[in-house]
Amino acid sequence: MPQTLPNYPLTRLNTFGLQSAAEQFIAIDDVATLQSCIADPALRSLPWHILGGGSNLVLPELVHGLVLKMDLLGKYLQAEDDDAWYIAAAAGENWHQFVQWTLAQGWGGLENLSLIPGTVGASPVQNIGAYGVEIKDYFHQLSAIHLHTGEIRTFGLSDCQFAYRDSIFKHSAGLDWCILEVVFRLPKNHQVKTSYGDIEKALAELGLSATAHHIAQAVIHVRQRKLPDPAQIGNAGSYFKNPIIPAEQATALQAQHPALVMYPLDAQHTKLAAGWLIEQAGWKGRQLGSVGMFAKQALVMVNHGGAGQRDVKTLEAAVQRDVLNQFGVMIESEPICWQ
């Protein structure tokens, strides 16, 4: 029978640094351990929570039930054809280290996603994205195990229902699947993407050319300048999603606020920069209790020390209210909030 650890501290296992503990905890470093948990009726009677790098979570003081920390490791070239390399990585691999390893092998594609905290297994859940690239652009397939039946199945690109910061794994049809391994398709004729302004500027500043390696360096440079390092100050990356609103509403808002930062998506939809809205609403660098919106990037909530879930939700509501009052736009939180 798998051995779980009671009352296990999670404060250091979430990048936000929120005070939290798990009622029961187990580290999963091989699939057989997970399978024996699934087969154990006493464990199965508890609520289950899968923990990766803990970089996109808002944890409560006490997580009821069992927390399973995904520590599965391994990465390898699974296959190769004339057009692409197929690279597999186990769910517990650190995302940034995995990306740097692919680049060191000469396989470009994931460079714009350098320095994103978290694990490979968590990357499809919110379809991580940065600087004009999302993992769906290089995703091939993944394998996942059903937490009730133990069935192992493969999810292809369309099965994952990827969208902006979203996938099936955030919705009821996907919640009972635990990702074991992800396979990426990295094309041999990879075309780098430098269209995101910050990257072009950073390449020029650093005197670098637009190779996959150099883009990784530029991305690391930009992220280190703008985003707080969770090792120094607790955070979960962007706290809010950039809202997608009807194009007509965006045009009307722009007439009122000519400096509005917006990205037309198609004829009907426009994405707004939530960081701009939050800054205009006066929250950039402002604190409420033990949490605040980061001074260099208003989209990121930071823990100034000792914060818990309630502090986070109180600031979330205050920022949402002020942005809604000023712009008539509701911004939604991005990290997953465990109850």
Residues that bind ligand EPU (CB under 6 A): 130-131, 198, 226-227, 237-238, 241-242, 261, 273, 275-276, 279, 284, 297-299, 334
12 annotated active-site? no
75 or 221: CB nearest ligand EPU: 221
111 annotated active-site? no
Catalytic residue chosen out of the listed positions 238, 279, 290, 333 = 238
Query: Kind of pairing, strands 152-156 and 300-303?
Result: unpaired
User: What is the nearest approach in angstroms of ligand EPU to the Cβ of residue 272?
Assistant: 9
234 or 237: CB nearest ligand EPU: 237
User: What is the nearest approach in angstroms of ligand EPU to the Cβ of residue 238?
Assistant: 3
User: What is the nearest approach in angstroms of ligand EPU to the Cβ of residue 156?
Assistant: 24
Catalytic residue chosen out of the listed positions 55, 93, 134, 165 = 165
238 or 290: CB nearest ligand EPU: 238
165 annotated active-site? yes
User: What is the nearest approach in angstroms of ligand EPU to the Cβ of residue 338?
Assistant: 18
28 or 323: CB nearest ligand EPU: 323
For the annotated catalytic residues, the residue numbers are 165, 238, 334
